[in-house]
Amino acid sequence: MPIRDLTDGDDLRLNEVFADADTPAAHMARSLFRPSSDSPLLRSVIAEVVPEVPVGAAAIAESPLHPYRAWAHVEVAAEEQGHGQGRELFEAVCAETVGTAVEGLDLRTRVQSGSSGAGFAQALGFTPLTTTRVIKVAAGALPPSGGGRAEDLEIVATGSVKLTKAFLAWYTAVNKDDAVGPLTIGQVNNAFLSEAVGAHGAALLDGDAGAAEDAGLSAFAVSYAREAEQTGVEITDAMPAAADDDEAPTELILGSMFETREEAVDTTSELFNAAIADAELLLARLSVDADVVLEVTSGMPVVSALADRLLEAGQASELYRYETLTGPPAEMN
């Protein structure tokens, strides 16, 4: 099967042969199908049956926030799947990484649970790393609570140093399974809390459930503009998920500072339950007048427990479920 480097305009040709991306993660993964570059480091290839009639593509890209693994994405047109083109594309793009900074790195890919892509990745040797759920909480589904705690709530600018430091500590903690590289305050702000990525509001809640170094901060939330420009933003857990509805809900990152504690999580402790209550209080106050969508990963014990409770009570619904899988280095395939 003819395989060549992906060039300008090939992304449009691929869109014509692929089915529409049905999840935000699938849409984000396809953004890797662009010409190879060295900054950011990306290698991409495309397969064609005849010139300008593609059947699939593959890409491997560096991951600046999580530099110990590289992103990989392979996709083949539905009618061509099952004939080996995907594996050929994967092997071809792996060969393109030889001599680059991603050679020898483990790979990661994100797939929808139970999809054909998940089965293909597992056949290549990829194994589960983390699970991400995207859940929706309807406006007013959570009754406003926490009477007498108005003094604990603080609305801050997304550029707040207090928020940025808290976000860095939390993001590092909840990504232990896919370690974060050394990050500066400026890098965190640019990647998650800047106008460029759509961050437009934030709230902090004080309580007893945070770590000692958090100076009383228990939970935080960051909201994102519905039409945020995400071009060039790294695919990663704990990023806002784009919504498909005409009346798009508010997109939130909800973080519990309990998750930054170094000791093992005791899910039966009073502090753990207090952390859930604080996260729920903050979510309730931010979802009074608007539907809210948030991502919950398996690295977030507090928010995961809250999500489970809301789903069981019918106060939230699950929109999507993704699996982030990890695979052996490209050179080993």
Three-state SS for 42-65 is EEEEEEEEECCEEEEEEEEECCCC
Neighbours of 87 (CB within 10 A): 16
Distance, in Å, from the CA atom of 195 to the CA atom of 210, rounded to the nearest integer, reads 27
Q: 116, exposed or middle or buried, with CB in 10 Å at 0-12, 13-18, 19+?
A: middle
Distance, in Å, from the CA atom of 42 to the CA atom of 219, rounded to the nearest integer, reads 36
> pLDDT at position 228, please?
44
The pair phi, psi for residue 237, each rounded to 5°, is -65, 160
DSSP codes joined into one string, 168-229: HHHHHHHTGGGPPPP--HHHHIIIIISGGGTEEEEEEEE-SSS-GGGTTEEEEEEEE-TT--
Distance, in Å, from the CA atom of 79 to the CA atom of 172, rounded to the nearest integer, reads 41
Against a cut of 0.75, is the pTM above it? yes
Predicted confidence pLDDT, tens digits, the chain (333 residues): 899 999 999 999 999 999 888 788 888 899 999 999 999 999 999 999 888 889 999 999 999 999 999 999 999 998 888 889 999 999 999 999 999 999 999 999 999 888 888 899 999 999 999 999 999 999 999 987 655 577 889 999 999 999 999 999 999 999 999 999 999 999 999 999 999 999 999 999 998 877 656 668 999 999 997 654 443 334 444 444 444 445 678 899 999 999 998 877 788 899 999 999 999 999 999 998 889 999 999 999 999 999 999 999 999 999 999 999 999 876 544
The pair phi, psi for residue 167, each rounded to 5°, is -65, -45
Distance, in Å, from the CA atom of 300 to the CA atom of 275, rounded to the nearest integer, reads 12
Distance, in Å, from the CA atom of 82 to the CA atom of 6, rounded to the nearest integer, reads 22
Helix, strand, coil fractions of the chain, as percent rounded to 5: 35, 30, 40
For tokens 């398996």, name the residue.
Answer: 298
Q: Name 327's bridge partners.
A: 107
Provide the residue count of the chain: 333
